[in-house]
């Protein structure tokens, strides 16, 4: 599937606010956990301003989504119960997270393990090398 050609027709917050259901115009439906959305935030908090500043965030397993806000016709902003709300998830990025959810979660868990962090214990570490 070419994610660049599919578009969400519905983004619904799941009961409990710990996941969203993303229905795409190709007929597929994908659950994306609030945890994955939170730890993959495209904000500067996680991405930094260079690859050397990219961080892995631990302890977000139980995060919930308070609100989903559209940003024009190109992105969504998720407001999380830990106070984070600065990441703008472009539609292509959101579709990629949904369609390749398992791959992203595996990579995240590997980063956590490499940093000595846990999905259950708050903390953060740099993924890249800081200069």
- Check residue 94 and give its pLDDT: 97
CA angle, residues 127, 116, 40, in degrees to nearest 5 = 45
- Beta-bridged to residue 19, according to DSSP, are 33
CATH architecture of 3-125: 2-Layer Sandwich (3.30)
Predicted TM-score of the model (pTM): 0.92
- Beta-bridged to residue 24, according to DSSP, are 8
Q: Which residues contact 22 (CB under 8 A, 6 or more apart)?
A: 8, 10, 11, 29, 30, 31, 32, 94, 95, 98
**pLDDT above 70: residue 129:** no
Question: Mean pLDDT across the chain, nearest whole number?
Answer: 93
Q: CA-CA distance, 55 to 112, in Å (whole number)?
A: 10
- Check residue 131 and give its pLDDT: 45
Q: CA-CA distance, 11 to 30, in Å (whole number)?
A: 10
Q: What is the mean pLDDT of residues 27-37?
A: 98
The pair of structure tokens assigned to 72 is: 């024009």
Outline where 2-130 has alpha helix (H). Answer: 34-39, 44-47, 91-99, 101-115
Task: Summarize pLDDT for 38-91 with one digit per residue, the tens.
Answer: 999 999 989 988 888 999 999 999 999 999 999 999 999 999 999 999 999 999
The pair of structure tokens assigned to 2 is: 């070419």
Tracing tokens 């990629």 back to the chain, one arrives at 96
- Check residue 26 and give its pLDDT: 96
């Amino acid at each position: 599937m070419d994610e660049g050609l599919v578009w969400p027709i519905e983004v619904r917050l799941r009961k409990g606010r710990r996941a969203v259901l993303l229905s795409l115009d190709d007929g597929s439906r994908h659950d994306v956990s609030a945890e994955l959305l939170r730890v993959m935030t495209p904000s500067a908090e996680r991405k930094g301003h260079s690859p050397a500043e990219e961080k892995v965030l631990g302890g977000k397993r139980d995060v919930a989504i308070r609100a989903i806000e559209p940003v024009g016709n190109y992105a969504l902003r998720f407001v999380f119960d830990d106070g984070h709300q600065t990441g703008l998830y472009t539609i292509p990025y959101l579709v990629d997270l949904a369609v390749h959810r398992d791959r992203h979660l595996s990579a995240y868990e590997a980063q956590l393990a490499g940093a000595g962090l846990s999905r259950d214990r708050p903390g953060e570490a740099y993924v890249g090398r800081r200069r």
